[in-house]
A and B are shown apart, each in its own frame.
Chain A
Amino acid sequence: MKKIQAIIKPFKLDEAKQALADLNVVGMTVSEVKGFGRQKGHSELYRGAEYVVDFLPKVQLEVVVPDDLVEKVAMALTESARTGSIGDGKVFVLPVEDAVRIRTGEHGDSALT
């Protein structure tokens, strides 16, 4: 199993969620983060003085899936979150050793589906 971690633009969350639902991926965790890559920040103005805000709001979406779904899920997230402009984000794939369903105690892939 792998964890797919996507950092995307906040307004793309609904589309990404829908893309996962279309693949029958049932669960995910979402957090609000700040970050930047090549996309520079923007400047703001306060009482006549300018300042640059480097960190932009992003959404981090994480989902753990069995190995056979990894490629499909990564693709689905990539395509649903794409706008074509700078700052679209990244998808990371990380190895996961085990997963446990808290309610039942199941291990492995059966804890994911």
Chain B
Amino acid sequence: MKRIAPALILAAGLFLPAVGLAEDGVSPGTFVANNVWMMLCAGLVFIMHLGFATLESGLTRAKNTTNILFKNTFIVSAGILTYALLGFNLMYPGEFNGFLGFAGVGLGGGYDPAANTPGYADGGYTYWTDFLFQAMFAATAATIVSGAVAERIKLSAFMIFAAIFVAVVYTIAGSWKWGGGFLDGMGFYDFAGSTLVHSVGGWGALAGVLLLGPRLGKYVGGRVHPIPGSNMPLATVGVFLLWLGWFGFNGGSVLSADPALTSFVLVTTCLAASAGAVVAIGTSWFVFGKPDLSMALNGVLAGLVGITAGADTVGITSAVIIGAVAGALVVGSVMFFDRVKIDDPVGAISVHLTCGIWGTLAVGIFSTNPEHSVLVQLIGVACYGAFTFGAALALFGVLKLTIGIRVSEEEELEGLDLSEHGMHAYDLGAGPGWQEQTPGLASLGAAPSAAPALAGSES
């Protein structure tokens, strides 16, 4: 019985070309292609969460890795759930006043048959594809924050912040443009989210680190004491996963599988990423005196964030310029934040806020569409900044006053893995594995060992 209905629909669909195209001009084959592409892109954006998890793990210390991974696992899971519960309908309320609207709790609209036909979104995708793709975007905003507040944030406070930030702040702000709100009406343009996703995450991150303070020992004695990352291969894996994910992030923001536009967007995206990397390499090498891998990696992301606002509407040369400028900006931004003692372990604020703003303004400068202007882009940046930064500040502020947002000094020194989770991420050589012993074995009559012997004792 279950197989018959889809088969009938498919059969009926095959007749449609014979009677001309469906009402909106999209053939069934195109509809399928669009959905396949969009769902593939949703999967690619999803894998960016693995990219964030590994990048953050690589650029922070091993004693906090479990905590990083835990936060990243929670963010995407909670994000998808809250987006299904209310986020999607806050971001896309349908007809509303342009500032705040809500289309109701849950995803009931998806069960309307019309929601899964070419009529729903000009044949680009079904309701479910729409929800899924957008849901994957939503959680990336909070994940940006997790990198900046790493190694000292209190887990419970972060989980509460992230859940509310994604559910309500990201979504209401998003409705102003993608939901058809007032900024959309003004002509503000953000193709795939330099502002709506990246700068929103960046503002949240900035609010967080301002209220949190720097990690212990980072800015002692008037100097910057670097806290090097624990795993460069992992950081690199992360950035390449993110770059791969961007094929979906930008490619899917075309909102169909239009061959010309999607292929063009993927090209501008990759050109910007490459330019960002190369210029960041050159800039950091020149300024620091040695080629810094972490800056090269940040450069890739800077270029990607920079092109995200206008990947479909700027020319090829412009894409390279946008990426190149982003690559230089991110290096300067990282240095600036260290100079003013704002501690950002992974450069999240520099990559996502600084370059997110740049990418947005770049649309006004480089767009081939004469309706785009720097002024309107600037207004958009200001609106998102005021709202998102203010909301994040309020959220973190309330949490700081109630449950506290930072772990104790002792917990921070011991490492969040042990203090918050009671679980090491790595076998650092002092746990059961080192003795090749199962903790419970002693009770079976095997000789119990003494306290672990120090290295170098009598052989």
Task: State the A residues within 8 Å of B (CB).
Answer: 3, 27-29, 31-33, 44-51, 60, 62-64
| Cα–Cα, bound, A56→B458 (Å) | 23
Is residue B228 within 8 Å, beta carbon to beta carbon, of the partner chain? yes
Taking a contact as CB atoms under 8 Å apart, the answer to whether A48 and B225 are in contact is no
Q: Which of B280-295 contact A (CB under 8 A)?
A: 284, 287-290, 292, 294-295
In the complex, the chain A residue whose C-beta lies closest to that of B229 is A46
What residues of A have a CB within 8 angstroms of the CB of B105 in the complex?
none
Interface of B is mostly: loop
Taking a contact as CB atoms under 8 Å apart, the answer to whether A28 and B459 are in contact is yes
Taking a contact as CB atoms under 8 Å apart, the answer to whether B334 and A48 are in contact is yes
10 pairs, CB–CB < 8 Å, chain A vs chain B: A45-B289, A45-B290, A46-B292, A47-B295, A48-B224, A48-B284, A48-B292, A49-B226, A60-B456, A62-B456
Q: In the complex, which of the residues A28, A51, A63 contacts B225, with contact meaning CB atoms closer than 8 Å?
A: A51
Q: Which of B252-288 contact A (CB under 8 A)?
A: 284, 287-288
| Cα–Cα, bound, A94→B224 (Å) | 43
Closest 6 CB pairs of A and B: A29-B459, A46-B226, A49-B224, A49-B226, A31-B455, A31-B456
Taking a contact as CB atoms under 8 Å apart, the answer to whether B292 and A45 are in contact is yes
Interface of A is mostly: strand
What residues of A have a CB within 8 angstroms of the CB of B216 in the complex?
none
What residues of A have a CB within 8 angstroms of the CB of B287 in the complex?
48
Taking a contact as CB atoms under 8 Å apart, the answer to whether A33 and B334 are in contact is no
| Cα–Cα, bound, A2→B456 (Å) | 15
Q: How far is the CB of B185 from chain A (nearest CB, A)?
A: 42
Q: In the complex, which of the residues B288, B295, B455 contacts A33, with contact meaning CB atoms closer than 8 Å?
A: B455
Taking a contact as CB atoms under 8 Å apart, the answer to whether B334 and A47 are in contact is yes
Taking a contact as CB atoms under 8 Å apart, the answer to whether B456 and A46 are in contact is no
Q: How far is the CB of B453 from chain A (nearest CB, A)?
A: 11
| Cα–Cα, bound, A46→B291 (Å) | 10
Is residue B338 within 8 Å, beta carbon to beta carbon, of the partner chain? yes
Most buried by B among A45, A47, A50, A60: A47
What residues of B have a CB within 8 angstroms of the CB of A48 in the complex?
224, 284, 287-288, 292, 334-335, 338
Taking a contact as CB atoms under 8 Å apart, the answer to whether A46 and B294 are in contact is yes
Q: How far is the CB of B422 from chain A (nearest CB, A)?
A: 28
Q: How far is the CB of A16 from chain B (nearest CB, A)?
A: 15
Q: How far is the CB of A107 from chain B (nearest CB, A)?
A: 14
Taking a contact as CB atoms under 8 Å apart, the answer to whether B226 and A51 are in contact is yes
Q: A47-B338, A60-B456 are in contact. List 11 more A-B contacts (CB 8 A).
A: A29-B456, A32-B455, A33-B456, A44-B226, A45-B289, A46-B226, A46-B292, A47-B295, A48-B292, A49-B226, A50-B226
What residues of A have a CB within 8 angstroms of the CB of B456 in the complex?
29, 31, 33, 60, 62
Q: How far is the CB of A5 from chain B (nearest CB, A)?
A: 8
Q: Which of B400-438 contact A (CB under 8 A)?
A: none
| Cα–Cα, bound, A44→B289 (Å) | 11
What residues of B have a CB within 8 angstroms of the CB of A45 in the complex?
288-290, 292
| Cα–Cα, bound, A25→B284 (Å) | 52
| Cα–Cα, bound, A57→B285 (Å) | 27
